[in-house]
Amino acid sequence: MAATPQTLVSSLSSTRYSAGKFWTTRVGTFVLIAAFLYALQLFLTPNLGIYDMRILVNSLLYATLAVSLNLINGITGQFSMGHAAFYLSGAIISGKISSMYYKTAGVPGWLWLPLMVVVGAVGAALIGLLVGIPSLRLRGDYLAVMTMGFGEIARVIVINQDGGKQAFGGLDLGGAYGLQGVPKLTEMYHLLLLLIVAIALSRNLLKTAHGLSFLSVREDELAADATGVHSTRIKVTAFTIGAAIAGMAGALFAHYNRSVSPDDFKMDVSFMLVAMVVIGGTGSITGAVISGVSLKVLEEGLRALPGISATALYGFLIALIVTVLLAKQVFKRIEGPARVTFDKALIVPGLIGLGCALFGAYRLWGADMSVVIKVAFVVIALALNVAMLLPSSFRTALPKFGGAMVVLALAYGVSFGTQALLHKIAPLAAVLDPIKYQAADLRWAIFSLALVIVMLNRPQGIMSHQEFSWDFIKGIFGKKKAIGVAP
Amino acid sequence: MIALGYTMVYGVLRLINFAHGDLYMVGAYLAYYTSMVWFTKDSSHPFTVWLAQHPIVLLLVMLVIAMVGTAALGVTIERLAYRPLRKAPRLSVLITAVGISLFMEYAGRLIVQTSPQPSIVEEINPFAKSTVNFLGIQATTFSLIVMGVVAFLMVTLWFIVTKTPTGRAMRAVSHDFQTASLMGINVDKIIVFTFVLGSALAGAGGMLQATNYGTPLNTFFGVLPGVKAFVAAVLGGIGNIPGAVAGGLIMGVSEYLVVWLGYAGYKDAVAFLLLIIILLVKPSGLFGSVRDKV
């Protein structure tokens, strides 16, 4: 149909901005989502054990934090290593008020929690402002050190507020033991809701002209200034919004955990969050969510590892090396030498992902869960891995996936073989057999190794600058030229 | 001491080497195991007796082994983890460094003894007990030795960096490594050399610390010193050798001052507070040049 001026005008007027409609749509969507999540919560609670629920809650929490840090680190390009400080301040401020006034205030829990979330957000945002303003003078690594310093200072100050001599004005935040007596109000769906809000916020920011100015500050601050972007204001805004979201997450955490201990907010937390943002791909919201959830699940899931004997460990390590070398050969055969340089990057993370997925599936299979969730988990895990191993055209995908499976099977075989062999060689077995490794040490060793391997193989992060969209999925399957809408 | 190593690696590579604190830990452990091999309390072997009479020999051997061992480890890390990422975004390298650091802390626990936490027997180092009067100040002999070793290493370092051809190449790489490579400098070689120097310094620092107080060792031994050394390096202007020393001194003095004032709980915060104040006044550190402002 030819676009006459009339149709153009009418189509414009129908989509014209109207404040009333805007807010009804937003509030309506929000309520609908909340209701859906509440239903999900009702469905999941009996099906998940307390332990699995805790893992879920934790991973959601970290995904939210990663998204909020992504706003500062990824989108605005200000390298902050003190995100734990905002998280801590949100938790401690709201937790303190809650533990003091919740019982006497007589406000119902469903109203009190949002109130506390707002309090946490405002408190953290103020602190974000405090950090953001001096940060304007600094760039790059100096800023990183400074924010790291702020994070540490915040924690040390909280540790010292034990109502004793060194506390400011006799303030009692529980000192090193942590703040106790916070009512438990947070449920899993609150966290999911917050995550969605955080994602929506960053996404909407990126889609508008405001977002462009954030990105321009990341790409080139001087050029941004020259083209009329108020880079100072942008940076402070980024810090404040990021801190506010972290503060909300903190408030929810305080009301979930029922106590706030400074030990939960060490420098490691900030590092972990930076790792999540970088591994997800700086600036990619999807990446932040994916890596936030998966890193946390990996970290917590590895807790279930049993203590392992030295023989088994070395058997496994040898198998791992063999597998990687083998995988390279297999994929070279499938693809031919021309494409190796590109897809090589995907092999190792793909295999590790596959291993993790199978391990997770194996673990969940035994857990007390409904069949639907089990099947869904396996399907999602496999789909993720297929996507990971997929080349840009679907034609070579199947042999590749088959190759991955063969390699995996071989790896299992080699692992058992080497173990048996190590047992057979008497002098070696005599040394190795009595040694047992603690699960806690192994857990972190594996975790950090995974971190390094992912980074080595994919320095730009899992998603690099891309976002999840249908075009992206189509791009993977080769139906359309891959356009990662690079923001 | 560790700040020096940090600043070396950072200056050339522009990389915050989080594994540096762990090299410090490895240095301490190497010293411990060396002392265990050569010196057991109840051995009456003539060599042990001789060693007990000449403790300085053993200390020197421990120092050398710690330095060589950490240097080798540092180069290995560089080869395996950092070199493949030479052209990658700097943040990815940083995360890799964090990963390596975590790996060394936890995988290290699988290998070395951590419970009970070992410490180097005091007999190894009689200097830590004896005191001397130096210009009216009471000090242990060992602290003087430490000062001497640090001063010696510092002067050596300064000499290498400013007077030798290799040092000139290092400075060139630090300015701009693409141009440097065009000028016929083997950048990889220089970076390896930097890692050797930096790691050896960390190892020496770890060894000195471990022998000084009979400090109990565990694999997290290097975490806090690592972070503080980094802060000290930034304080003095990153990539700047005298700056790193000055930064280290300022940090140490201010921490003792706070403890002396009765606010021991805030000890760790003060170093950072100082850092923030200095960075606010002079954003590139005390001795940093404007060029460093990335």
Give DSSP secondary structure letters for chain B.
-HHHHHHHHHHHH----TTHHHHHHHHHHHHHHHHHHH--TT---HHHHHHHH-HHHHHHHHHHHHHHHHHHHHHHHIIIIIGGGTTS-HHHHHHHHHHHHHHHHHHHHHHS--SSPP---GGG-GGGT-EEEETTEEEEHHHHHHHHHHHHHHHHHHHHHHHSHHHHHHHHHHH-HHHHHHTT--HHHHHHHHHHHHHHHHHHHHHHHHHHHTPPP-TTTTHHHHHHHHHHHHHT-TT-HHHHHHHHHHHHHHHHHHHHHT-GGGHHHHHHHHHHHHHHHSTT-SS--GGG--
Note whether B98 contacts A: Cβ–Cβ < 8 A. yes
Residue A243: what pLDDT? 92
Is residue A1 scored above 50 in pLDDT? Answer: no
| CA-based nearest residue in chain B for residue A453 | B96
Residue A367: what pLDDT? 46
Is residue A406 scored above 70 in pLDDT? Answer: no
| B254: confidence class by pLDDT, cuts 50, 70, 90 | confident
Is residue A244 scored above 90 in pLDDT? Answer: yes
| B290: confidence class by pLDDT, cuts 50, 70, 90 | very low
Residue A379: what pLDDT? 55
Q: Which of A141, A279, A441 sits opposite B95 (nearest CB)?
A: A279
Residue A436: what pLDDT? 62
B291 contacts in chain A (CB < 8 Å): none
Residue A397: what pLDDT? 54
Average pLDDT over residues B54-61: 75
Element (H, E) at A153: helix A140-160
User: Considering chain A, what is the average pLDDT of its residues?
Assistant: 71
Note whether A38 contacts B: Cβ–Cβ < 8 A. no
B41 within 8 A of B123, measured Cβ to Cβ? yes
Is residue B241 scored above 50 in pLDDT? Answer: yes
Is residue A333 scored above 90 in pLDDT? Answer: no
A262 within 8 A of A222, measured Cβ to Cβ? no
Is residue A353 scored above 70 in pLDDT? Answer: no
Q: pLDDT digit string (tens) for A94-119?
A: 888 888 888 787 777 778 888 888 99
Q: How far is B293 from chain A (nearest CA, A)?
A: 7
Note whether A153 contacts B: Cβ–Cβ < 8 A. yes
Average pLDDT over residues B154-168: 81
Average pLDDT over residues B258-269: 71
Contact between chains at A159 and B265 (C-beta distance less than 8 A): yes
A79 contacts in chain B (CB < 8 Å): 91
Interface test with B, best of A441, A449, A463 (most B CBs within 10 A): A441
Q: Which of A142, A153, A274 sits opposite B269 (nearest CB)?
A: A153
| B183: confidence class by pLDDT, cuts 50, 70, 90 | confident
Average pLDDT over residues B134-155: 72
Residue A214: what pLDDT? 85
Residues 55-84 of A with CB under 8 A from B: 79
Is residue B40 scored above 80 in pLDDT? Answer: no
Residue A459: what pLDDT? 65
Peptide bond into A459 cis (omega under 30): no
Q: Which of A144, A145, A152 sits opposite B268 (nearest CB)?
A: A152
Per DSSP, the three-state class of A436 is: strand
B284 contacts in chain A (CB < 8 Å): 142
Average pLDDT over residues A442-453: 72
Most confident range (mean pLDDT) of A325-339, A373-387, B41-55 is: B41-55
Residue B92: what pLDDT? 73
ipTM greater than 0.95, yes or no? no
| A248: confidence class by pLDDT, cuts 50, 70, 90 | very high
Is residue B280 scored above 70 in pLDDT? Answer: yes
Q: pLDDT digit string (tens) for A5-27?
A: 444 444 444 445 566 677 777 77
Q: pLDDT digit string (tens) for A171-225?
A: 666 666 777 777 888 778 888 888 888 888 888 888 888 888 888 888 888 888 8
Q: How far is B60 from chain A (nearest CA, A)?
A: 32
B290 contacts in chain A (CB < 8 Å): none
Average pLDDT over residues B63-84: 83
Note whether B41 contacts A: Cβ–Cβ < 8 A. no
Residue A326: what pLDDT? 59
Residue A340: what pLDDT? 40
| B119: confidence class by pLDDT, cuts 50, 70, 90 | low
Per DSSP, the three-state class of A260 is: strand
Point out the least confidently predicted range of A246-255, A389-398, B230-239.
A389-398
| Secondary structure letter of residue A266 according to DSSP | S
Bigger pLDDT: A423 vs B82: B82
Contact between chains at B280 and A137 (C-beta distance less than 8 A): yes
Average pLDDT over residues B244-260: 75
CA A357, CA A378: separation in Å to the nearest integer? 7
Contact between chains at A149 and B265 (C-beta distance less than 8 A): no
Write the burial class of residue A319 (CB in 10 Å: 0-12 exposed, 13-18 middle, 19+ buried). Answer: buried
Query: Nearest to residue B74, comparing CAs of B97, B107, B93?
Result: B97
| CA-based nearest residue in chain A for residue B267 | A156
Q: Which of B95, B266, B275 sits opposite A149 (nearest CB)?
A: B275
Is residue A409 scored above 70 in pLDDT? Answer: no
B101 contacts in chain A (CB < 8 Å): 448
CA dihedral B163, B166, B171, B174 (to 10 degrees): -160
Q: Which of A134, A149, A445 sits opposite B106 (nearest CB)?
A: A445
A327 within 8 A of A453, measured Cβ to Cβ? no
Is residue B46 scored above 80 in pLDDT? Answer: no
Residue A12: what pLDDT? 45
Residue A369: what pLDDT? 44
Average pLDDT over residues B97-101: 80
Residue B125: what pLDDT? 61
Residue B259: what pLDDT? 73
CA B282, CA B294: separation in Å to the nearest integer? 14
Note whether B229 contacts A: Cβ–Cβ < 8 A. no
Point out the least confidently predicted range of A73-87, A143-157, A216-230, A401-415.
A401-415
| Secondary structure letter of residue A459 according to DSSP | T
Average pLDDT over residues A422-441: 62
A99 within 8 A of A112, measured Cβ to Cβ? no
Residue A125: what pLDDT? 92
B93 contacts in chain A (CB < 8 Å): 455, 459
Residue B255: what pLDDT? 73
User: Considering chain B, what is the average pLDDT of its residues?
Assistant: 72
B244 contacts in chain A (CB < 8 Å): none
Contact between chains at A460 and B88 (C-beta distance less than 8 A): yes
Interface test with A, best of B92, B287, B289 (most A CBs within 10 A): B92
Average pLDDT over residues A343-370: 52
Write the burial class of residue B116 (CB in 10 Å: 0-12 exposed, 13-18 middle, 19+ buried). Answer: exposed
Start-end of H helices in A208-309: 209-219, 221-226, 231-257, 267-280, 285-301
Query: Nearest to residue B146, comparing CAs of B248, B260, B15?
Result: B248
Bigger pLDDT: A148 vs B266: A148
Token pair listed for A205? 């920011």
Residue A378: what pLDDT? 53
Interface test with B, best of A158, A314, A324, A452 (most B CBs within 10 A): A452
pTM of the model: 0.71
Is residue B291 scored above 60 in pLDDT? Answer: no
